[in-house]
Amino acid sequence: MDKKVLILCTGNSCRSIIAEALINAKLDAVVAKSSGVKASGKVNPNAKKLLEEKGIWQNEYHSKTLETVIDEEFDLIVTVCDHANETCPMFPKPTPKIHVGFEDPDGKGFEAFEVTYKEIETILLPKVKEVLGL
């Protein structure tokens, strides 16, 4: 049975989408979804381009609000920005939560997205595996 992880950010356009894609592509037995506390409604074009270049973009990745996932059961909630960590809502069921913050690449050049991708891959993925006992 796969473990379910929710990646939570403010806008759900960069960091959380990259984290969702990386977890789904690189962690066996883990299914990730992402959402935003105040979802922007769009995926940042640089984030999409990067994930396409890495071969892990999926058309179902999109910016979505918390309401679309609040009733789902997750094994772990991960906040990847300080604002989402501070405003993370209470979920109907008690769910373990961790915060691993990353600088927002939005509004910066493509290189900033590459740095964020690498940080998420090297810092967040091992942490998720550790917390889930994988």
Query: How many other C-beta atoms can be found within 10 angstroms of the C-beta atom of residue 69?
Result: 17
| Residue 88 bears catalytic tag | yes
Active-site residue identified among 31, 69, 88, 131: 88
Nearest Cα to 119, choosing from 28, 53, 22? 22
User: Does residue 14 carry a catalytic annotation?
Assistant: no
Give the residues across from 7 on adjacent strands. 34, 78
Buried b (16+ CB within 10 A) or exposed e, 77-114: bbbbbebbbeeeeebeeeeebbebbbebbbeeeeebbe
| 81 is known as an active-site residue | yes
Q: Which of 66, 81, 84, 128 is catalytic?
A: 81
Catalytic residue among 5, 9, 66, 100: 9
Q: How far apart are CA 78 and CA 114, in angstroms?
A: 20
Catalytic amino acids? Answer: 9, 81, 88
